[in-house]
Structure 1
């Protein structure tokens, strides 16, 4: 039966629909997104997330709207050491721009025309004084006036709005107990809100491409320590990407498991990132997104799914579920967001100081970036720890791969007696041996 790509995608997305329901996501985007003619498409995607039972806090910027108003008055925001100075005239523009942007977003979230993707949708939107701020103050002799930083988040009030089914909408503005208004960084607000709520995800939709290590090559995942190293490069990143990276790393250090940085210019970026395994942006995670670890009994189904295509093609010897359950302690697995994408097994023969490398397999969608080498290196390390001097493999179709990695042709006589007794002459597998 011919597969329908749409049905196939929908089925693959189902685990994420279940996983995200009832979760809390904080999504930040700049004023550039609000001003873009394609912004309604992003709002439709946000409405879809709300309809799937995800609790949403939206944090919007307003920089182009502020600069537009300042330009009309022949004024400009001043920056010192990368920090903006917000004087009285600038603050008036900030308040006006943030208010207009908020109203435009609320209007789009209220759209319910029969001809639109939001037909029949009713989304309550909540805004308010949820963010308490303090002045940045005087730094190195410079008074930053009405530029502030987040002091506290009213988490209880936010949770009440979210539990009532509302989308919470926050501008880049904070308030002080003395009634002052402060111009804040949207990234600072988003990070602080995510930490205060213990959000499940913090998501930044930025103007640039997400993080790349060379032209057009996306860095799919980073740990907070790797973010710090990346930001110390001589060539600086664009400001919105730098802010998103800093905020994401800090959020992960403060208990947020995952932060995502996406290009908002990528149509459907939110849906692709949240409902596909590989996404389309850069994931900052408190723990590795892809983990190489010993296999557990509940990995047997995933290992079987990985091995079955290779067994069908005769590359690997077929193994039953029962046998795998007995031997699962011999396996290492590469797990990527809950899916087993690679495995390998080690069968030692201690009396001969040899061990067999078996079932080395990587899912066909992930045979780049050296995952096979990663599995081999861990197997070799484990073998050395066990006092093994030689590693051998039996193969019918992948001899070249092993030869490129130091395995040399061997004879049946080179194998441990116990293994020779089990040799399948009908398969006529080639023997390759590597000294450790």
Structure 2
């Protein structure tokens, strides 16, 4: 006997499918923007010790499949400590660096060698029905990093501890262009055949600078950069980051990562990110969502609220089309948008539009209409709508307008909370009153400026 499908289950499946399609469409602009870009992804040995290596490699494989060039840099601090314990060697540190004598250097080599093999094995996975299925990714490692000794600093001889002297960017680029992942260990070699223990952060930032990478991503044991109130700083300009460092208001671990992130940005790396490995998929969430989950450092403020140009028409159409489809906004064609583009203001973040609004003035009656206020669903709740409203109010005042009105069918309460009051169609300027759509029966709300 055939049973009828459960309508509730069908509705749930339909909703899930719609959610998946919406998500995929929302990340498409990032995929387009990141294709053929070079990312240096650095992670500490703490991530491996916590069992997060396979998940990270799966995320890296996904980035490779989307056309991004990946350089991986691994650390090995807990693994080195384990090797030191096995060899009954005491660790010594100064100025946040390990003092590496000959015995400690052997422990460093052993730890780095084991980790490199584990990472290469994880990249080589290809089990079906897993994220690595059909991945077929090759990894290349080698003597890409030349090091030199730290030397004697403030009376402390760091012995085999080193810093990066040079990164062989040309060889790395050749490997990346052939579709390989390049793996760098925290070891450097001198022309005389000496080995040096380097920090993962130094190797990663030096590689990002040498490659002119688009992004440097640190996947760390910390949640990101926290301010003195223990609040996560999701976005910092280079100036902000340097100020936090000079004020000494952040913890030692954050300051250490921030030192190398700002170094890379000062030298021309587009963005540096500090994200937590405790959150599964944190790198993907940081790259493919508006607010991210960690801290991003950039040379300058990535978000701007500005007047629209003709080049913004496509982005505005993408923002407003879903609201036109559900009847929230009146339909506007591309031709009308191009004609009215001087009336629009937009919020842009990292090259993508996340909000827009338009001002249509009626100077003879000292009133203006704010129309088409739209914020991308991904950015809602971040205050972008309020920023657009204030910007439109400023534009209206600059034009000598004394009042602002909106016509709305869905967002009455949002405007009422922001100083608008209910009015009638007769309160509209004469030219706008003649165009009022009685079928939509939009509410009229007016605010004194």
TM over 0.5: yes
Q: Are 1:252 and 2:265 matched, yes or no?
A: yes
Q: Are 1:430 and 2:444 matched, yes or no?
A: yes
Over 3 Å counting, the alpha-carbon distance change for 1:51 and 1:78 in structure 2 is same
Aligned to 1:71: 85
Aligned to 2:374: 361
Deviation (angstroms), 1:237: 3.0
Q: Are 1:195 and 2:193 matched, yes or no?
A: no
Deviation (angstroms), 1:255: 1.7
Unpaired stretches in structure 2, ≥5 consecutive residues:
1-10
Aligned equivalents of 1:402, 1:134: Cα separation in 2: 63
Given candidates 223, 238, 243, the residue that maps to 2:237 is 223
Aligned to 2:165: 151
Aligned to 2:7: none
Q: Are 1:106 and 2:136 matched, yes or no?
A: no
Alpha-carbon contact 2:329-2:372 (below 8 Å) kept: yes
Aligned equivalents of 1:304, 1:117: Cα separation in 2: 35
Over 3 Å counting, the alpha-carbon distance change for 1:389 and 1:18 in structure 2 is closer
User: For residues 112-152 of structure 1, what are the alpha-carbon distances to aligned partners after superposition, in whole Å with 9 as ceiling and x for unaligned?
Assistant: 45686545554333222221222223333333332222222
User: For residues 157-181 of structure 1, what are the alpha-carbon distances to aligned partners after superposition, in whole Å with 9 as ceiling and x for unaligned?
Assistant: 2222222332211111112333332
Aligned equivalents of 2:324, 2:132: Cα separation in 1: 47
Aligned equivalents of 1:173, 1:404: Cα separation in 2: 59
Over 3 Å counting, the alpha-carbon distance change for 1:225 and 1:312 in structure 2 is same
Over 3 Å counting, the alpha-carbon distance change for 1:307 and 1:49 in structure 2 is closer
Aligned residue pair count: 434
Over 3 Å counting, the alpha-carbon distance change for 1:180 and 1:259 in structure 2 is same
Aligned equivalents of 1:86, 1:257: Cα separation in 2: 33
| SS in structure 1 of the partner of residue 358 of structure 2 | strand
Q: How does 1:94-133 map to 2 (within 5 A)?
A: 94-112=108-126, 117-119=131-133, 121-133=135-147
Alpha-carbon contact 1:257-1:287 (below 8 Å) kept: no
Deviation (angstroms), 1:52: 3.8
Deviation (angstroms), 1:292: 1.9
Q: How does 1:288-307 map to 2 (within 5 A)?
A: 288-307=301-320
Deviation (angstroms), 1:232: 5.1
Alpha-carbon contact 2:101-2:160 (below 8 Å) kept: yes
Aligned equivalents of 1:318, 1:47: Cα separation in 2: 41
Deviation (angstroms), 1:357: 2.4
Alpha-carbon contact 1:396-1:430 (below 8 Å) kept: no
| Larger deviation, residues 35-44 vs 369-378 | 35-44
Alpha-carbon contact 1:355-1:390 (below 8 Å) kept: yes
Q: How does 1:378-397 map to 2 (within 5 A)?
A: 378-395=391-408
Superposition RMSD on alpha carbons, in Å?
3.3
Aligned to 1:40: 54
Aligned equivalents of 1:403, 1:121: Cα separation in 2: 53
Aligned equivalents of 2:357, 2:123: Cα separation in 1: 50
Unpaired stretches in structure 1, ≥5 consecutive residues:
none
Aligned equivalents of 2:211, 2:150: Cα separation in 1: 24
Over 3 Å counting, the alpha-carbon distance change for 1:266 and 1:406 in structure 2 is same
| Larger deviation, residues 15-24 vs 179-188 | 15-24
Over 3 Å counting, the alpha-carbon distance change for 1:178 and 1:372 in structure 2 is same
Over 3 Å counting, the alpha-carbon distance change for 1:14 and 1:304 in structure 2 is closer
Q: Are 1:340 and 2:353 matched, yes or no?
A: yes
| SS in structure 1 of the partner of residue 305 of structure 2 | strand
Aligned equivalents of 1:414, 1:306: Cα separation in 2: 30
